Structure 1
Amino acid sequence: MAEAQPTEGTARYRFFNHAACEFYPCHDMPPEDLNCLFCFCPLYALGPACGGAYRYVGEHRDIKDCSACTLPHRRENYDYLMSRYAEIQKLAAPPAADA
């Protein structure tokens, strides 16, 4: 049996716009495309491997600045973000027991 593919009308879980947020809009992009679902980007923890537009700032260049990145906020990137969760899960895994 083929799995039903979500459509714009049935996949509401893929997009959320929070226009009442005190920080809205947080990025310069069309409001109808600004997806707030991943407000705090889950890819942040992947550092340079996140795939987004970032830069390191600060005296020691140790602060990741993602303010110019719209990757997690674009409606079409939901599947990309979800495809990266295995990498994030590895980062969050408990340390292996000492043998």
Structure 2
Amino acid sequence: MENSHRFFSNRECRYFPCHDTDKPEDFNCLFCFCPLYFLEDCGGNFRVLENGVKDCTPCRIPHHPKGYDHIMKRLKAEFAKARRPEKRDA
């Protein structure tokens, strides 16, 4: 896959690939740090450690070639929720 606004592979990174993969050629580095990390329900495969830290090690969504679409869809939905005016009791 070619480097673009949807996909970028940084094979020169000392951590590449930062997750186990059978297809390093399809490993997307664009979202090195997932923008959905702070969502309680991000849709990814994560676990919460005893100290409350979200561990996303088993998640591959941001690094999958179609991860861009998933992340952008979720961000747009979250932004839409944030723009809705609160309903106030009359």
TM-score normalised according to structure 2 size: 0.77
Q: Does 1:41 align with 2:34?
A: yes
From 22, 25, 42, give the equivalent of 2:17.
25
Please give the alpha-carbon distance, in whole angstroms, between the structure 2 residues aligned to 1:64 and 1:77.
Answer: 19
Q: Distance in 1 between matches of 2:39 and 2:67?
A: 16
TM-score, length-scaled by structure 1 = 0.71
Deviation, 1:22, is 1.4
Work out the CA distance in 2 between the residues paired with 1:88 and 1:22.
Answer: 34
Q: Give the counterpart of 2:59 among 66, 69, 72.
A: 69
Unaligned runs of 5+ in 1: 1-7, 94-99
- Distance in structure 2 (CA, Å) of the matches to 1:23 and 1:77: 19
Q: RMSD over aligned Cα, in angstroms?
A: 2.2
Residue 88 of structure 1, CA deviation: 5.8
Kindly indicate which of the two structures has a greater share of residues assigned to helix: 1
Q: Distance in 2 between matches of 1:52 and 1:88?
A: 19
Out of 4, 11, 15, the residue aligned to residue 7 of structure 2 is 15
Deviation >2 Å, runs of 4+: none
Could you tell me which residue of structure 2 aligns to residue 85 of structure 1? 75
- How many residue pairs were aligned? 80
Q: Percent identity?
A: 46
